[in-house]
Structure 1
């Protein structure tokens, strides 16, 4: 025998029926905090700021990459 039960209720009604806690206030707080942080950091994703950050690594990063490649090539070259 197969029996199906269909329950028509809202998410809030189901939460209360199952005894789950109401976390809507916590959710609203977290969403608000995330919005504040995103708004505060919007300047960091502007093209000018991104280029400044990338250029700050500049020559130092290029030199370290060159040294890494030299070490890799010397390790890969056959020993005489």
Structure 2
């Protein structure tokens, strides 16, 4: 025997029926706080500071890539 039951309800109604907490106010509060922090950080960081922050990592990665290529090429030169 197979029984199928269709229930039409909103997500809020389903949460209330199963006794789950309503976390929407908490999510809205956290999203507002994250937006405020992100905006404050972006305003505080000018393009010059961003380049100085990111450039050393990019240069170091490029230098490592050059070293790797040089180490791969040096055995070929000696042969």
Q: TM-score normalised by the shorter chain: which range applies?
A: 0.5 to 0.7
Tell me, yes or no, if structure 1 residue 19 matches structure 2 residue 19: yes
Structure 1: unaligned runs, 5 residues or longer: 68-80
Q: CA deviation at 1:36?
A: 0.6
TM-score, structure 2 normalization: 0.59
Q: Which has the higher contact order (CA 8 A, sep 6+)?
A: 2
Deviations 1:23-57 (A, max 9, x none): 1221111111111111112243x6x2422223x73
Q: CA deviation at 1:63?
A: 8.2
Q: CA deviation at 1:3?
A: 1.2
State the match for 2:56 in structure 1: 57
* Count of residues in correspondence between the two structures: 74
Distance, in Å, in 2 between the alignment partners of 1:41 and 1:4 is 53
Runs ≥4 in structure 1, deviation > 6 angstroms? 62-67
TM-score, structure 1 normalization: 0.59
Structure 2: unaligned runs, 5 residues or longer: 68-79
Tell me the C-alpha RMSD between the 2 structures.
3.1
* CA 1:63–1:17: 2 relative to 1, 3 Å: closer
